[in-house]
Each structure stands twice: as structure tokens, then as C-alpha cells.
Amino acid sequence: MLLSMTGFGEEHRQQGGVAVSVEVRTVNSRYLKLSIRASEGYAPLEPKIEAVVRKRVRRGTVQVNLRVDRAKSPDDYAIDVDVLELYRDQLEALRNKWNLSRPVSLEAMLGLPGVVRDESSAPVDAAADWPLVGRALESALDRLHQMRLDEGRAMAADLKANCRILADSLEQVALRAPLVVDAYSRRLEERLTKTLAELDVALHPGDVLKEVSFFADRVDIAEEIVRLRSHVEQFEAIMDAPESSGRKLDFLTQEMVREGNTIGSKANDVEISRHVIEIKTAIERIREMIQNVE
């Protein structure tokens, strides 16, 4: 099973006049990097949020946005009677001084600064809201996980296709490799025979055998083929494992790059070089995709 490191999940919940909104976004990263942004007063919940996220996400850059809105109620507002009476006394004094017949309006005085106190911004009890926040967070992480899982399945299909391309090209290299030494031996013997004949010198079979042996040792890629084949088999087995293991796959990909480069540098053959290009192309596609696997 593979999990993508890119995903998004959100959840909205409401209970007892408290509305909670949680968003979780993830992008690829070598390690786990967590960033939390919460509404004012809810910073004390960040350690709990981090603990929950770390249980569900192992790699990637994670951004958690928590917004909590509380519904307004009559208890959130209070009239400051002392301030109201001061306003009334001053306004009444002005009304008498100016001989105004219209009485002072209570509605107008309620709109004056300081008459009505807004107590809705009082410190919140974040701990009391944690059960609701925690449930919303878990649901958002469930949606995130499903999105990452769906993308992981698509990535796994693409990775397996590239592994098949790699394995098929490698088998063609394995079939061609023994023929390279035979072809070199024939070419060498033909060139030497022609050259020495012109000089009227006999060709000693041992000299040809020695030179062919040196060449065979330089272009021997049997070990590299075996190792690369083993890496591909391990890669596919890890992809089918119950847990996503991006780091293991990343390590194996680096080893595949190394073996592919060695085969390409040692194999002195045009046909093998053509297959090596296919191998390297497939490995490069795999390497790029693995960067986004948890």
C-alpha cells in the first residue's frame, strides 16, 4: 500500500452554539513538518492537535487550520448603568439649557460609546471545546487519508508499469550480454589475422584468449544485472506491504540508479546501450514519483 504525501481534508461541526472548522493540508517533504493555525484563545490545544496528527501522518509538510466561532447570546452584552446615567444627566442638562421640549431617547443613548459592553471576547475555555475539536480533527484526517490513499493507488499502478518496463529491458540486457564477448572475440581475431598476415607473422591463440579475457572482465555486468533484478523485486514487494514505506523505496531507487549507471558504463555494446536508456528512463520516472510517497 502506498500513501501520497499530498492531500487535503476538512470537517465542519457544530454543537451548543460552537461551530468548529478544521482543514488539513499536506505536501511532500523529507521529514514531518507540522504547522498549526488556530483561532484566538485556542493555542493551548496545539499540543493535543499535534499528538493526533503525528499518529496519522508520518512524513510530509502538514498545515492544520482550526477555526472556532461561538454564537452570540444576550449574556454576551451588558449595559453599564453608571455610564448610561452620566450620559443622561449631561444630555438632560443640555436639553434644559437649550429649552428643548423633546426628551432624551433611551435608544439613542444605548448607541453611545461605553454604554453597552461586549463580553463575548472574554477568555474561552479551550479545554471544554476539545471533544468537539478532536472529533472534527479526526474526521478531517480521515478524509485526508482517503485522498492520499486514492492518489497512492494511482501512483502504485504507474510505478508497477515502470518496474515492468525496467525488468523487461533488463532481461534483454541479460540475454545480450554473453554475446558481446563472443562478438568482440571474432572481431579481434579477424583484425589480428588480417594484420599479421600482411606482416607474415603467425597468430598465437593464447594471445587472443588473453585479450578476450581482459575485455570480458571489463564488460562483465552479471553482478549488476542480478542486483538490479533483486532491487526491482524488493521494490514491488515493499509496494504491496501493508504500510507505506517511502523511505525504503527511495533508498532502493538510489541503488537502482547506481546499478543502471554501472551497466551503462561497462557494457560496450550499442544494443545494450539502447536498453540501458530505457532502464534509466524508467528509474528516473520512479525516482520522481517516489518523492511524493509517505
In a shared domain, residues 90 and 186 = no
More confident: 96 or 225? 225
How far are the Cα atoms of 38, 41, 171, 199 from residue 72, in angstroms, in the given order?
20, 17, 72, 108
Please give the model's pTM, rounded to 2 decimal places: 0.72
Number of domains in the chain: 3
More confident: 219 or 153? 153
Q: Domain holding 242: CATH number? A: 1.20.120
- Quick check: is 2 in a domain? no
> How far from each other are the two terminal CA atoms of the chain, in whole angstroms?
10
At residue 81, does pLDDT exceed 70? yes
Total Cβ atoms within 10 A of residue 274: 13
Q: What is the pLDDT of residues 46-79, one digit of tens each?
A: 999 999 999 999 999 999 999 998 876 666 678 8
- Quick check: is 185 in a domain? yes
The average pLDDT across 195-211 equals 52
pLDDT value, residue 110: 80
Q: Which of 117-131, 153-167, 178-192 has the lowest mean pLDDT?
A: 178-192
- Quick check: is 177 in a domain? yes
- Quick check: is 33 in a domain? yes
More confident: 52 or 196? 52
The average pLDDT across 253-282 equals 90
At residue 195, does pLDDT exceed 50? yes
DSSP 75: G
In a shared domain, residues 142 and 214 = no
DSSP 18: E
- Quick check: is 1 in a domain? no
pLDDT value, residue 212: 47
pLDDT value, residue 264: 85
One-letter amino acid of 250: D
HSE-up of residue 171 (Cα within 13 Å, Cβ side) = 6
At residue 255, does pLDDT exceed 50? yes
Average pLDDT, the chain: 85
In a shared domain, residues 212 and 270 = yes
Domain range enclosing 54: 7-71+124-149
In a shared domain, residues 49 and 107 = no
